[in-house]
Chain A
């Protein structure tokens, strides 16, 4: 394989692994803030135990998010040197802002959050969790702004710079706020944050449902489940609204991307596929079921308005279709299912029927995996759908600004075998990390929120793999300090 394919694989693999953690920390952050707020308000110490439990899980994910996130920052320079020179003026400032405004806030107050329970008062501790949550949202703000600028660039110009007698193009900021509030950043940020909050809620509901099914930590589980279901209901409905807005925005700003999402090869009224198998050679979707002309209606509120198809673009400017199509449809399908699950659960909260409904609880246990898949596939669709561009060409004040193709963004000095070696290295390290993450997460979940409650219940594996290790592991897995209290 060539350097380009390998570098893309490397970036896709490392960023997807990284993206297991940040949305989970954002989502859990909100739950932590709510629980700790309830503790401050009611003085009921069981809210504090609950907040503490989720803080422990949050901290684990945060550490992995930081460790895998530094990789991304390095990869821009190591593998995409030409890209870095092209966008550094714009993208770099967003990345630096993320460091200054978000990471310091998060990491500083995370220390207070995790290690400071006995060192600071409840109010400062609550403030710390609010600030950590805000910090994680800020980091989403800056990185999504940077990414959105590449998709729908604004507030910049392309200039020719000369270094060592050779000229090269690069983007330079002309209007900082226009760059920040480029046409897609608000839509994409909203959708990204909503996705993260849904993930946090379903993560909490998964663990709580597991406890309810096992009849362990029931007070904790009921309370957390209630909060999670409410949060999930609100944001899964909002995800639909923001997703709809975003699709319309993509239709305006990146029509080729929308065409790839929907497998819309020929310009004309657009059908909305529920599923299908796009065939790029034949330029049609096989085995698909579609609502005729529904896409036109959703985008233009009119069934007959034509939607730009891929045929409107020269072949070298078209994205590939299969991956964006499937990823996009997976995200939408999961999104719809989440609305159904969360609203049903919300209704069944009345009288606590949800807590006794075993099938629905079992569904909650596994749904979190689908939410991870939806968050990931959304980004896969967004990033594969914008190909072949790293930075889209655009029109600024009547002047056409050239874009940057993915194939033109590589490092001149990096060779395929180097990239391959690094992929293998990351592959091994990340596989190990993933196994450890699941193992430690499981041990924390098995250990539960307040160890003084429900000691008697047998310890069973949350995941089958872990379950096979055996029940005596319970003692091994307790955090070593348990006895000191």
Chain B
């Protein structure tokens, strides 16, 4: 394949998609664990839930950091537009991410009911808020933003409160909660696991209803999302696989193969992230004032030299990253055991 500027931009769009999928699958389950945190009944159960993600959440968040860095490097114009447009949501998001890290880190350091209760609530609320805000930002991006000719976007607080992005935010919360529930099912035993299993079914039910409703809502409210599907028929494979993956979650749970259920919910997240990318391509931020002012992979990209260098960096880096990730998940496989190093 000839690596010209256009194909490099396309490759980087795809690589950003990979980073986004990696982030949403991995941080998705630990955010989901946070959203489900209130179902734990005793201090030990809460600690089991937190320690299920203890060694993993930090590495999962690095996917977000790297996604941000890669967007900055490959499509600086899009990075500038998106981050300045979503000023207040992102500031809230940062606060929530800080609270989440701190809740995990500090909760079990002090043996006081009030202290722990406070951080338990903080962990739940911040996980919920992070998941919701990601969905909200995603929903707004699918609708498009009022991009001005100078690439800036002026949005005030009321502009962010619109039904469609809120619906996407809620779907993200349900999706991550389900994903987290399946993950917890894998990591727990006994009574807690039985309760979590009920939550797998509940969150699956809620997610399924929300998924169907949002799909219909999207086709009505944001019809331009199917534009690429009309041009590239093969894309229909993805929603088809998505439906199969969703259907496989109850099947695998029923057949007592929770790992396949987890893989399926991961595949569902990957498919939804893919559909998001396919809906906006070749834009990174569709413009609503004048579609010609949209931020696309062509007007937002870095120079050809930089994209080429970055590709080389990615080719060297990604195998290393995958190695560490697999190694760490392998070392911490199996049920949660609380020991003296746990949170």
Contacts and interface: CB of A to CB of B under 8 A. Distances in A.
A21 B311 CA distance: 31
Interface stretch (A163-171, A288-296, A318-326, A348-356): A163-171
Main secondary structure of the interface of A (DSSP, over half): helix
A215 B97 CA distance: 41
A193 to B, nearest CB: 21
B66 A479 contact: no
A103 B317 CA distance: 11
Contact of B61 (A70, A92, A95, A174): A70
Interface stretch (A81-89, A195-203, A250-258): A81-89
A440 interface: yes
A92 B74 contact: yes
Interface stretch (B80-88, B234-242, B264-272): B80-88
Interface in B269-292: 292
A413 B338 CA distance: 49
Interface in A375-421: 411-414, 418, 421
Nearest to A56: B341
A104 B325 CA distance: 8
B59 A104 contact: yes
Contact of B152 (A111, A413, A418, A480): A413
A81 B68 contact: no
A108 B80 CA distance: 29
Interface string B185-209: 0000000000000000000000000
A168 to B, nearest CB: 9
B309 A173 contact: yes
Contact of B73 (A69, A85, A92, A478): A92
Interface string A114-128: 111111100000000
Interface residues of B, number: 84
B314 interface: yes
Given A96-B73, A120-B331, A479-B109, A412 B65 contact: no
A160 to B, nearest CB: 12
A83 to B, nearest CB: 8
A97 B102 CA distance: 26
Contact of A85 (B77, B108, B303): B77
Interface in B154-179: 154-155
A433 interface: yes
Contacts of B84: 77-79, 81, 411-414
Contacts of A485: 340
Contacts of B1: none
Interface stretch (B50-58, B132-140, B213-221, B223-231): B50-58
A78 to B, nearest CB: 5
Contact of B317 (A100, A110, A478): A100
Interface residues of A, number: 86
A484 interface: yes
Contacts of A70: 61, 64-65, 68, 94, 97
Main secondary structure of the interface of B (DSSP, over half): helix
Interface in A440-485: 440, 443-444, 475-482, 484-485
Contacts of B255: none
Contacts of A107: 58-59, 61-62
A412 B150 contact: yes
A101 interface: yes
Interface string B72-104: 111111011111111110110111011101101
Given A119-B332, A172-B303, A484-B340, A418 B72 contact: no
A95 B80 contact: no
A249 interface: no
Contacts of B39: none
B342 interface: yes
B256 interface: no
Contacts of A120: 331
Interface string B299-343: 110110110011001100110110011011001100000111110
B336 to A, nearest CB: 11
B77 A92 contact: no
A444 B338 CA distance: 19
Nearest to B64: A70
B159 to A, nearest CB: 12
Nearest to B55: A111
Contacts of B338: 481, 484
Contacts of A186: none
B328 A77 contact: no
Interface string A223-234: 000000000000
Given A433-B98, A479-B109, 13 more contacts: A64-B101, A85-B80, A98-B69, A107-B59, A111-B56, A111-B58, A114-B55, A119-B331, A412-B150, A412-B151, A413-B155, A421-B88, A440-B110
Interface of A: 59-60, 62-64, 66-71, 73-74, 76-79, 81-82, 84-85, 87-93, 95-101, 103-105, 107-112, 114-120, 159, 163-166, 170, 172-174, 176, 411-414, 418, 421-422, 425-426, 429, 433, 436, 440, 443-444, 475-482, 484-485
19 contacts: A66-B58, A70-B61, A82-B80, A84-B79, A85-B76, A88-B77, A92-B71, A93-B73, A99-B66, A104-B59, A107-B59, A108-B325, A111-B332, A173-B303, A412-B151, A418-B88, A425-B91, A425-B95, A481-B338
